[in-house]
Amino acid sequence: MASIHFIGAAFLGAALFVSQGSQAIESASTGPNLAEPEDAASQEKSALIRSGEYVARLGDCVACHTAPNGKLMAGGLELKTPLGTLYSTNITPDAQSGIGNYSFAQFDRAMRKGVAADGHNLYPAMPYPSYARLPSQDMQALYVYLTRGLAPVSQPNKPSDMSWPLSMRWGLSLWNWTFLDSTPFTPDASRDVVWNRGAYLVQGLGHCGACHTPRGIAFQEKAMTHEGSKGRFYLAGETVDAWRAPSLRNLWTVPDTVVMLKTGQNRFGSVSGSMVEVIHNSTQHFSDDDLVAIATYLESLPPGKDEVPMPSVPVRPVPSMVPAKLFSTPGGLGYVQFCVDCHRQDGTGVKGIFPTLAQNASVASADPATLLHLALTGWKSAETAAYPRVYTMPGFSRLSDQELADIMSFVRQSWGNNAGAINAYQVKRVRGDLDPKVTDSSTFETPRLASMLAQPNAPQRVRGMRLHLETRTLLPQNVGNDLNCTSCHLNAGTVADGSPFVGLSAFFPSYAPRAGRIITLEDRINGCFLRSMNGKPLAADSPDMQAMVAYFNWMKGNTKPRDKVVGRGVGRIDMAIKPDSENGRKVYSAQCAVCHGKDGEGLMRADGPVVYPALWGDRSFNIGAGMARTYTAAAFVQRNMPVGFHEKFPLGQGGLSDQQAVDVAEYFSHQPRPDFAAKVKDWPKDKKPEDARY
């Protein structure tokens, strides 16, 4: 199902100006019942069909005329408008339900004037006011492709369900008389070829204005081009179905726009909403010359009225610096808990994977519609040749209106975004409009880091949380590799089945089979420093150890020693599953290497900071760590890796099968890693686990 702004299309598409010889065009467009052509004519027609296919594909006809899991161009896509529901039509060459009996003149009239072959008016949800700008050669190439290049599909069209009086189509004639300009595109003689080509692509079959141009009282686009007294409105941005289609006027540099249209992301952010499919179906297939032409035209448009242009170079904070309010406000701590793992403390995201929030147009927009939409319903990246893997962000509708308002206000006011705050009422209103679904049915109640601020020893507990989040940075003398506590205890120990700290301190002191004695919570923490961190222990009475224990004690809540805590640990995996290390290598390459490196070396930013840790080698955990055991690692992986894989709250984590998890765990856990001298003291009284490395 798609939702559209009445009279505007839901999708921004684009098309190439395909120039063909007029003689060839005329010979191929005399109607659908041509006699069998000779070889030369057949080749010429085939070339024209390919040209028309190029126009149709890059015009994103598939977006509206192909239903989910439906046949190509057979229609049936539900298009919701504020005044009723439309269904896209069958445009295959089927004679009964498609356009197989359309002459070129009838097709041309439908495309330019919105009048079907039988004389009824089309709703301007099909953006014929934009298609009217097509020159004849492009229109004829498209016609030949649709009537000769597609397989006919017999699928009757669904009737529209529009409210009165718009159900009376005769009124559309008046709308056309008032707003439709069917004049084809005319090049501007004062501009060069590149600019004119870009202007044609944007204004014509691309119909960019259908989403990005403000609407008038009759839902008409206020301007169809940048020219004239109303030209300042053209592409100046519009809110469509709770998404903010941003202004495209002088948005970025030409290279930045080219990269966005080609890959779905650039250094300022990534696409969302309808544009995800536009990039996938349409603009990634543009030639580089045409992408440059579009970007050149858009860059030439001055900012709209009262619009502040985005900087051509994003302002990047010093990596070691974080917003002053990151650890001292509810919004900052909410960001730490739910956003940092993907978007990082400095808001720069992870290149090629998770978008930056710093200087992001959707984040900093005066209208926060897109940000609200994403926070409540989630996000996914565009699938492109450059980035074939799709990453996701789950919706955070589990969080309260106030929590989301706090987090989004923090994001909009950090890293130079300088945008206005969001209040709980705004979130509530959009939540009511969207009715988002909770993406995780777990009963685990995630503790909120922000609630620590109300505690009497808040500074100590926040320090303890930071020591788990930034262990390597804050305790360099105690950490001997690239890991932090949060590498295994996700989101500072707040994720169900992600080895959370919830209730943990209630179970200490307790007997530890590996140590063969009763250990304290401090002992357990130091075990991680020695093994997972391949480092040195903290003094039990040190302020930092006391801060970590204080954080654990806050996470204990009302848990009693014999209570069962839902989501505790990482779960279990059947040890009867036999590992296949070679398949594990393949799973690692496909699912893990993007974050942890081809050779397990981890992911580092060009300027030095570690993004995701090494899984083997000198900078990883040693042989004495729990993660060096196949089935412990497999249980963690099965529930928590990879992140951004689907819509599960809060990290889109997990998704591998049990067998895949066992295979990949066997593969990476048995790669070279530091030894652990004290391993000879392990399991002095109890039987060691079957998957122990020593």
Asked whether 375 and 404 are in contact (CB, 8 A), the reply is yes
Please give the CATH number for the structural domain made up of 193-300: 1.10.760
> Does the pLDDT at position 99 exceed 90?
yes
- Give the contacts of 680 (CB within 8 A, at least 6 positions apart): none
H or E element that contains 48: helix 39-58
Task: Report the C-alpha gap between 369 and 138 in whole angstroms.
Answer: 36
* Domain 581-681 fold: Cytochrome Bc1 Complex; Chain D, domain 2 (1.10.760)
Same fold, 330-434 and 581-681: yes
Quick one: which of 677, 648, 664, 685 has its CA closest to 515? 685
> Does the pLDDT at position 307 exceed 90?
no
- HEC profile of 319-368: CCCCCCCCCCCHHHHHHHHHCHHHHCCCCCCECCCECCCCCCHHHHCCCC
Task: Report the C-alpha gap between 585 and 583 in whole angstroms.
Answer: 5
Find the radius of gyration of the CA atoms of the chain.
Answer: 29
What are the structural domain ranges in the chain?
A: 2-179, 193-300, 330-434, 449-556, 581-681
Give residue 603's identity as a one-letter amino acid code: L
Task: Report the C-alpha gap between 251 and 245 in whole angstroms.
Answer: 12
Asked whether 243 and 369 are in contact (CB, 8 A), the reply is yes
Which of 71-85, 183-197, 335-349, 419-433 is predicted least confidently?
71-85
Please give the CATH number for the structural domain made up of 449-556: 1.10.760.10
For 327-377, how does the pLDDT look when each residue is reduced to its tens digit (9 = 90+)?
999 999 999 999 999 999 999 999 999 999 998 989 999 999 999 999 999
- How confident is the model at residue 241, as a pLDDT? 80
- HEC profile of 601-669: CCEECCCCCEEECCCCCCCCCCCCCHHHCHHHHHHHHHHHCCCCCCCCCCCCCCCCCHHHHHHHHHHHH
Percent of the chain scored above 90 by pLDDT? 78
For 247-270, how does the pLDDT look when each residue is reduced to its tens digit (9 = 90+)?
999 889 999 999 999 999 999 999
- How confident is the model at residue 303, as a pLDDT? 85
More confident residue, 57 or 137: 137
Task: Report the C-alpha gap between 206 and 449 in whole angstroms.
Answer: 46
For 28-64, how does the pLDDT look when each residue is reduced to its tens digit (9 = 90+)?
333 444 445 557 777 777 889 999 998 998 788 999 9
Quick one: which of 452, 458, 448 has its CA closest to 495? 448
> Does the pLDDT at position 529 exceed 80?
yes
DSSP 401-467: HHHHHHHHHHHHTSTT-------HHHHHHHHHHH-PPPS------PPPGGGGGGSTTHHHHHHHHHH
- How confident is the model at residue 240, as a pLDDT? 84
> Does the pLDDT at position 27 exceed 50?
no
Query: pTM value?
Result: 0.89
- How confident is the model at residue 687, as a pLDDT? 95
The CA distances from residue 42 to 38, 94, 409, in Å, are 6, 22, 62
Strand partners, 121: 115
Here the tokens at position 367 are 């209208």
The CATH architecture assigned to 330-434 reads: Orthogonal Bundle (1.10)
For 571-623, how does the pLDDT look when each residue is reduced to its tens digit (9 = 90+)?
999 999 999 999 999 999 999 999 999 999 999 998 888 999 999 999 999 99
Task: Report the C-alpha gap between 437 and 425 in whole angstroms.
Answer: 19
* Chain centre to alpha carbon of residue 14: 21
